Amino acid sequence: MYRRFLSATLRVALVTVLMLAVVLGSVSAYFIRQIYLGQVEALASRTLAAVAFRQASSLEVSPEYLDSIAGRDEVIVTFADGRVVANDPEHRGPMFVATREDPMGELSVTAATSQTPSYLMIGLVALVTVLVSAISLAVAYRVADRESRRVNQPLGDLAAHAETIGSGRPTRKAKPTGIDEVDRIARVLDDRAARVREVLEAERRTSREMSHQVRTPLTALSLRLEEIILTDDLAEAKAEAAVGVVQVERLTDVIDQLVKGRREGVRSEQEVLDLARMASEQMVEWYPAFDIRRRRITLQANGTVRAWASRAGQTQVLSTLLENCLVHGRGDVLIRLRESGTSALMEVVDTRGVMRLKEGQDPFERGVSATGTGLGLALARTLVAADDGDVQMTSRRPPTFTVYLPRYHGQGEAAPVQQEPGSGQIGPM
């Protein structure tokens, strides 16, 4: 681009300078010739007047007298009687010639001057024109070079800026250049770069969240498969395999929801959700992971607690809270279900854990974690908010996470019950 702009500018400047040089040279040559023609005509008129006066005074007109008038130029006087008097000029060659006649017809004067001085003058003017043209071209080159760089640099920066759009790296906005077209393109590229960064960041965040959310459930599934391999009881193997299939389907739903939530915004398909049933399913899935650490999960439910929420979303929330207790806690885990006003509450308590966060820190903020990545609880809050609910840490010792969901108002009230350890508790036998 730089070379093209510079070459085009220099071509325009060269053509312009050449045209001006030709026109100025032609005009200068014409006026120089006119000046010398005027001089020779003036010499002829002056000589005619001087010879006429000398003849009227009965004085002789000699070549020496003509030399005193003409100097180096040539003067020829022709009288009416045919006599001719001429001086002896110093120069020969091409001449400018002018003739003047006496009104009475008694004599005529022919004056001639050499064209050599006019040629020298024209050559001098041509030399000056060439020098001025060369200087003009040099100035034009400097100006074109500066302007080409002024235009080329923003275009180069714009190209480099465009190359970084797909990388997702944070880039500075293009600086204003004063060139409307370039600035307009830069603004469009800045907008596109911001959108691309948002999309890439969302994809990366989704990848991190999926990796974080499925890591421990996959470990639990792996343990269950190992149990299937080691058992000789066909019925037990089938039961474990059925649970494993349910886990795989649920993990598939989790991944689909995460991907869809990031690309289309977090949306939930709400339904009547039996929290006790959902918790029981999660207890079955998380049993191997807790059992290997000799820890238990206990469920307490005050009657039938139903919420109006997304099954996939709240299953993932409970899974996240259980994983948080498994990874960062030490004791048994208690899941309490109850109703309070218009809310259905689900509490997850790590009975011997301690929340090691600084005072004032919110564990549900992204990146806030004592020992982990700070992704799981932030995602849990997002999924709960999609169902018009909220999740909070209501106690630090022992760590207690409470999920508030909209209560389903279509069911009748049930009497508070406590599940027996044999039916609502899963732990090592």
Structure tokens at 254: 């989790």
The ranges assigned to domains in the chain are 2-137, 168-202, 268-426
Residue 267 is predicted with a pLDDT of 53
Based on its alpha-carbon atoms, the radius of gyration of the chain, rounded to whole angstroms, reads 53
Question: How many residues make up the chain in this entry?
Answer: 429
Strands 390-396, 343-350: pairing kind: unpaired
- Residues of the chain falling short of pLDDT 70: 1-2, 90-92, 161, 165-175, 177, 205-206, 208-217, 219-220, 223, 247, 250, 253-268, 354-364, 366-375, 411-429
Half-sphere exposure of 195 (CA within 13 A, CB side): 7
Residue 166 is predicted with a pLDDT of 60
- How far apart (Å, rounded) are the C-alpha atoms in residues 157 and 311? 51
Residue 142 is predicted with a pLDDT of 87
Nearest to 328 by CA among 300, 360, 352: 352
- How far apart (Å, rounded) are the C-alpha atoms in residues 202 and 263? 8
Give strand pairing partners of 136: none
Residue 415 is predicted with a pLDDT of 35
Question: Would you say the CATH fold of 268-426 matches that of 2-137?
Answer: no
Which residue blocks in 57-175 are alpha helix, DSSP H?
63-70, 116-163
HEC string of 172-232 equals CCCCCCCCHHHHHHHHHHHHHHHHHHHHHHHHHHHHHHHHHHHHHHHHHHHHHHHHHHHCC
Residue 411 is predicted with a pLDDT of 46
pLDDT tens, position by position, 47-74: 888 888 888 888 888 888 888 888 788 8
Residue 425 is predicted with a pLDDT of 43
Residue 257 is predicted with a pLDDT of 62
Which fold does the domain 268-426 belong to in CATH? Answer: Heat Shock Protein 90 (3.30.565)
Alpha carbon 399 to chain centroid distance? 47
CB 361 within 8 A of CB 406: no
Residue 156 is predicted with a pLDDT of 74
Residue 213 is predicted with a pLDDT of 61
- The CATH class, in words, for 2-137 is alpha beta
What lies within 8 Å, CB to CB, of 369 at 6+ separation is: 363, 377
pTM of the model: 0.47
